[in-house]
Chains A and B, each alone.
Chain A
Amino acid sequence: MPEFGNENNPDKFANITEKISKIQIGKGIIKILFLLILIIYLASGIYIVQPNEQGVIKRFGKFARIDSPGLHYHLPYPFESALTPSVTEVKRIEIGFRTVRGGYVEVSEEALMLTGDENIVSAESIVQYRIKNAADYLFNIIEPEQTVRNAAEAALRQVIGERKIDDALTEGKYEIQEESKVLIQELLDSYESGIVVIAVQLQDVNPPEEVSSAFKDVASAKEDKSKFINQAEGYRNDIIPNARGEAAKIIKEAEGYKVERIRKAEGDVAKFNQVLTEYQNGKDVTKYRLYIETMELILPKMKKYIMETNNDTDLLKFLPLSDSFMPEILGKEATK
């Protein structure tokens, strides 16, 4: 023991009591140091699992248990070690484009893909995923992002490849998303990757830029089609009511005519009946009076010639003559 003390205390001139007390102090320091190191060593097993994490504990490299969020303890190195992957964080992968410092860059070799009818479309999508099983995720795969990206590209191309271009561009969008999601999940499950795909969002399915104007023209042709039809409908909406109106007018006019005709007849008849009644009271006189009165009314207006004729042939000679010529001859005849 003294040698031990001597080594630690090179001061050879110090008295024994001092020596002894120093040895004791030295021994104490070592003990404390040893204890401290032991405490630090044991304390290195304390670790915290954040609310978004899971604690994965390995004992001698072998998966031992999962710890939920909170303060936990594992045996210190080399017995146990802990990994704390974030399991709630949703990661995203962009396919066909990249967001670079807020900007947007198309990656056409990723975006362009063949459709089932050998057309080419440009599809951009986002895949969101997170860790489903932390142990699988940590122990079964390498480069998880690359794994998801590969699976997503393969799946998306397969799904688009099964479709015709018009489906892919329009109504098939939702189905493409869902089918891709299922397919990606199947692939990732077959790798036992411990990853769950939350969503596949098809951002945009467009015809490639090289032919986009032709596609736009189809859209405007569709518009033109309905425009033509609307114009025709407009024409129809103008013509038919007009025709109905005209028809109604024709019918109303006819109705009016009918009533007019009947009322006129009734009026005429009423007048005639009156006259007839009076006539029957004095037939000859009335007849003569009516005749003379009528002549009196009409003759003043007319050109009149009174000719003595014994037979009708003389008169007939003059009949075809015109109005202007007749008076001259007639006049001569008359003066003779």
Chain B
Amino acid sequence: MRKSLLIIILVLVIIVANFSFFIVDETKQAIILQFGKPIKAIQQAGLYMKIPFIQNAVLFEGRLLIYDAQPTEIITRDKKTLILDNYARWKIEDPLLFLQTVRDINGAQARLDDIIYSELRVDLGKFDMSEIVSQKRTEIMKTVTERSNEKSIEYGINIIDVRIKRADLPPENEQNIFARMEAERERIAKQYRAEGEEESAKIIAETEREKTVILAEAYKEAQQLRGEGEAEAIRVYAESFNQDPEFYKFYRSLEAYLNSFNENTTILLSPDNEYIKYINDLSGN
């Protein structure tokens, strides 16, 4: 009898405990509602109590949530169109406010769409495309995050990070860019080839110059050597021939006759000539 009573009590305790205790997981946060009216927010994980049947607990996501928007077109300050794909990280900061204003995550997503899109539009419209793509990206994102967060805080939402995932050009602009890239590459290719030809011409010209110089230097040295030879020869000849200039003239003339006269030569000889004078004058006078 006592034992069965014990069991009944145990079951009752479990049932009551089930209705009056609830667990908030690390990934969750909660609000206690009393007859539908929010009275308390719980943001720490653990075991909590509520009054059975009078209060009930609503759980909310406690982790960082993703807001991934559809790509949208925005116009930059320099009137260029960019297709922007951005995402945001957000969390439910104040579940009470969150419940009262947007109710649930779907409601929040719609609100985030409005807030982030309008902030991006406004902020990106202040910059040129090149600034958005490269130099100012981080800065812009920081501003957009801060501004969006200022607005979202009234919905109990904390926007931690808004980030441009992709910033691309619309297809028709892409074609223009491709055409420009192609033209640019053609220019670079031409430049390379022209540079090659320039270098080549320089090398060839330099080669020709060097060749001319080398040959000229050689000519100079050669002429000098020849001159030296001539000079030495003249000196040697003069030294020797000066011993008897008269005889040298005679001797050298004979040598020259020997070398220069041949069968084509016609000579008119006077009978007085030393060589034939004995023809007329046997006496030899």
Instruction: Say how far A26's CB is from chain B's closest CB, in angstroms.
Output: 13
SS class, residues of chain A in contact with chain B? helix
A138:B27 contact, CB within 8 angstroms? yes
Q: Name the B residues within 8 Å of A210 (CB-CB).
A: 178
Indicate which residue in A138, A142, A225, A323 contacts B61 across the interface (CB closer than 8 Å): A142
Indicate which residue in A139, A158, A243 contacts B27 across the interface (CB closer than 8 Å): A139
Chain A residue with Cβ nearest B219: A250
B282 at the interface (CB under 8 A from A): no
Instruction: Say how far A175's CB is from chain B's closest CB, in angstroms.
Output: 15
B217 at the interface (CB under 8 A from A): yes
SS class, residues of chain B in contact with chain A? helix
B237:A225 contact, CB within 8 angstroms? no
Which of B31-39, B110-118, B220-228 faces chain A? B220-228
B193:A309 contact, CB within 8 angstroms? no
Indicate which residue in A158, A258, A302, A303 contacts B226 across the interface (CB closer than 8 Å): A258
Q: Name the B residues within 8 Å of A198 (CB-CB).
A: none
A63:B45 contact, CB within 8 angstroms? yes
Instruction: Say how far A96's CB is from chain B's closest CB, in angstroms.
Output: 11
Indicate which residue in A120, A232, A257, A307 contacts B270 across the interface (CB closer than 8 Å): A307
B104 at the interface (CB under 8 A from A): no
B237:A298 contact, CB within 8 angstroms? no
Indicate which residue in A63, A161, A239, A268 contacts B207 across the interface (CB closer than 8 Å): A239
A285 at the interface (CB under 8 A from B): no
Indicate which residue in A242, A246, A276 contacts B244 across the interface (CB closer than 8 Å): A276
B229:A259 contact, CB within 8 angstroms? yes
A262 at the interface (CB under 8 A from B): yes
Task: Please measure, in the bound complex, the distance between the C-alpha atom of A115 and the C-alpha atom of B254, giving whole angstroms.
Answer: 97
B250 at the interface (CB under 8 A from A): yes
A261:B233 contact, CB within 8 angstroms? yes
A38 at the interface (CB under 8 A from B): no
A218:B192 contact, CB within 8 angstroms? yes
B163 at the interface (CB under 8 A from A): yes
Indicate which residue in B65, B168, B196 contacts A142 across the interface (CB closer than 8 Å): B65
Given known pairs A222-B192, A253-B222, A290-B254, the reply for A61 and B263 (CB within 8 Å) is no
A46 at the interface (CB under 8 A from B): no
Instruction: Say how far A159's CB is from chain B's closest CB, in angstroms.
Output: 10
B150 at the interface (CB under 8 A from A): no
Which of A14-22, A47-55, A98-106, A143-151 faces chain B? A143-151
One digit per residue, 1 when the CB lies within 8 angstroms of any chain A CB and 0 when it does not, for chain B 126-138 equals 0001100111011
Instruction: Say how far B60's CB is from chain A's closest CB, in angstroms.
Output: 13
Chain B residue with Cβ nearest A146: B66
Instruction: Say how far A269's CB is from chain B's closest CB, in angstroms.
Output: 4
Q: Name the B residues within 8 Å of A260 (CB-CB).
A: 229
B89:A191 contact, CB within 8 angstroms? yes
The B92-144 residues at the A interface (CB cut-off 8 A) are 129-130, 133-135, 137-138
Indicate which residue in A165, A265, A287 contacts B250 across the interface (CB closer than 8 Å): A287
A302:B192 contact, CB within 8 angstroms? no
A294:B257 contact, CB within 8 angstroms? yes
B257:A224 contact, CB within 8 angstroms? no
Q: Name the B residues within 8 Å of A1 (CB-CB).
A: 1
Q: Name the B residues within 8 Å of A63 (CB-CB).
A: 26, 45
A250:B236 contact, CB within 8 angstroms? no
Chain A residue with Cβ nearest B47: A60
A61:B87 contact, CB within 8 angstroms? no
B218 at the interface (CB under 8 A from A): yes
Which chain A residues have a beta carbon within 8 Å of chain B's beta carbons?
1, 4, 58, 60-63, 78, 109-110, 112-116, 118-120, 135, 138-143, 146-147, 150-151, 153-154, 157-158, 161-163, 165, 187, 190-193, 207-208, 210-211, 214-215, 217-218, 220-222, 224-229, 231-233, 235-236, 239-240, 242-244, 246-248, 250-251, 253-255, 257-262, 264-266, 268-269, 272-273, 275-276, 279-280, 283, 287, 290-292, 294-295, 297-299, 301-309, 315, 318, 323, 326
Chosen A-B contacts, 6 in total, with CB atoms closer than 8 Å, are A60-B23, A112-B168, A139-B26, A214-B189, A247-B215, A294-B257
Nearest 6 CB-CB pairings of A with B: A258-B229, A225-B196, A254-B222, A247-B218, A228-B196, A261-B229
For the A-B complex with A120-B169, A232-B199, A272-B240 known, give 15 more contacts whose Cβ atoms are closer than 8 Å. A109-B166, A142-B65, A161-B167, A162-B134, A211-B185, A225-B196, A225-B199, A229-B203, A251-B218, A254-B222, A262-B236, A272-B248, A276-B240, A306-B279, A308-B270
